[in-house]
Amino acid sequence: MRQIILDTETTGLSAETGDRIIEIGCVELLNRKLTRNNFHHYVNPERDSHEDALKVHGISNEFLRDKPLFAHIADELLAYIEGAELIIHNAPFDLAFLNKELERLGKGPITEFVAGITDTLAMAKDMFPGKRNSLDALCDRLEVDNSGRTLHGALLDAELLADVYINMTRGQDALLIDAHATGTAEEGGVSLIDLRQFDLPVIQASEQECAAHDEVLKQMDKASGGKVVFRSLENSVA
């Protein structure tokens, strides 16, 4: 399973009104492991950044003057991400800029080149309702070291997001997936594996783990205004 964590920095907030990409950073996960096969480019946006954007990323207009245009790196980027799942924090923002840049070159949208797109901001909102879910907030919550992040940078943010994503999806690894499995589901082409051939251990949760789980459910219940299904089921049984 090949996944690409992608982040961009831009001259402003609106691709539709002419703001452009100034930096692209990507890191590769192969079977949930960082490969260090990164993609990183600064880009000459052919316009100046807005003052507020400069405060966020700190990349000066002068620094970008001699950097390649997006047109000069587009094919390299598309070859790098081809067939992978893209993982992006607040995906609609980055996709709007990428698609606008591709549109200027007469190319189709990014979805034509990748296997799928996962928005970690949407994931975080489902996992932590009612809480701040910026990249910095998630780093703090999931104990990912972001002490080196004084300004936004596409490659650094992609590396941090990779750690955040792995922490958010712990326990969701696809176990025993075999690329040569012959069974397929009728819908979606999902590979099926007969687990009866494996002796799978059953590990019971300890009292401490059960208590920690119960505390998480209490916090979720409080944040959602008493809408956690587990709690309502427990109450109905009681």
- Reading phi first (left if > 0) and then psi (alpha if -120 to 50, else beta), residue 68 is in beta
Q: Name 96's Cβ contacts closer than 8 Å, sequence gap at least 6.
A: 15, 16
Catalytic residue among 41, 152, 180, 213: 152
Task: Report which of 169, 191, 173 is spatially closest to residue 182, judged by C-alpha positions.
Answer: 191
What secondary structure letter does DSSP report for 3? Answer: E
Give whole-number Cα distances, 119 to 67, 124, 235, in Å: 29, 9, 34
- Give the alpha-carbon dihedral of 112, 127, 38, 35, to 10 degrees: -110
Q: Name 215's Cβ contacts closer than 8 Å, sequence gap at least 6.
A: none
Task: Report which of 118, 119, 121, 96 is spatially closest to residue 109, judged by C-alpha positions.
Answer: 96
Q: CA–CA separation, 54 vs 25, rounded Å? A: 18
Is residue 152 annotated as part of the catalytic site, yes or no?
yes
Q: Name 199's Cβ contacts closer than 8 Å, sequence gap at least 6.
A: none
Q: CA–CA separation, 164 vs 127, rounded Å? A: 13
Q: Name 236's Cβ contacts closer than 8 Å, sequence gap at least 6.
A: none
- The residues annotated with a catalytic role in the active site are 152
